[in-house]
Amino acid sequence: MVDKGKLAKLKEKMEAGADAASVDDIPLVWDFFVDLANENEEIQDEIADATVRVQMVLTDADNKYWLRVEEGKMSWGEGTIDDPTFTFSAVKKIGVGMLFGEVDATSAYMAGDITVEGNLQDAMFFQEIIELSMEIAEDLFDEL
């Protein structure tokens, strides 16, 4: 089960909104995605056969993060990942907004606010996992 303390902190951050978030909040979001993905059956079904290596670059904060989906498990870390299937770059406000579910990645991409290098299908898959995670998060927040 997702740690209740971590969940409560994420709920507080989500309610404050992405504009109130900082790069220091990104690990909390990544931790939540990973914990949820590694235990939630619905997400497990989605990632079971996927192999995706995401590189996230925040261009105005000089921060890099990676997320890996492989063999039905998800993990993340700071820095760079070898051989990403796609890299997305954005300013902090857009990147954090996307992770907090407030920025639609497709719209941001079309507007030129996000650049994507690599496999666009993997990028769309990643966005779907974020959206599914946020839906599940809302249900979990209601249980707090």
CB 131 within 8 A of CB 45: no
Cα atoms found within 13 Å of the Cα of residue 77, Cβ hemisphere only: 8
Per-residue pLDDT tens over the stretch 13-53: 889 988 888 888 999 999 999 999 989 999 999 999 999 99
Nearest CA among 99, 37, 34 for reference residue 63: 99
The confidence score (pLDDT) of residue 43 equals 94
Q: What are the sequence ranges of the domains in the chain?
A: 4-143
pLDDT of residue 18: 82
pLDDT-based confidence at residue 4 (cuts at 50, 70, 90): confident
Q: Give the pLDDT confidence of 45-99 residue by residue, as tens digits.
A: 999 999 999 999 999 988 999 999 999 999 999 999 999 999 999 999 999 888 8
Give domain 4-143's CATH superfamily.
Answer: SCP2 sterol-binding domain (3.30.1050.10)
2 with 28: CB under 8 angstroms? no
Q: What is the pLDDT of residues 121-141, one digit of tens each?
A: 999 998 899 889 889 999 999
Token pair of 94 as six digits? 């857009």
Q: What is the pLDDT of residue 14?
A: 87
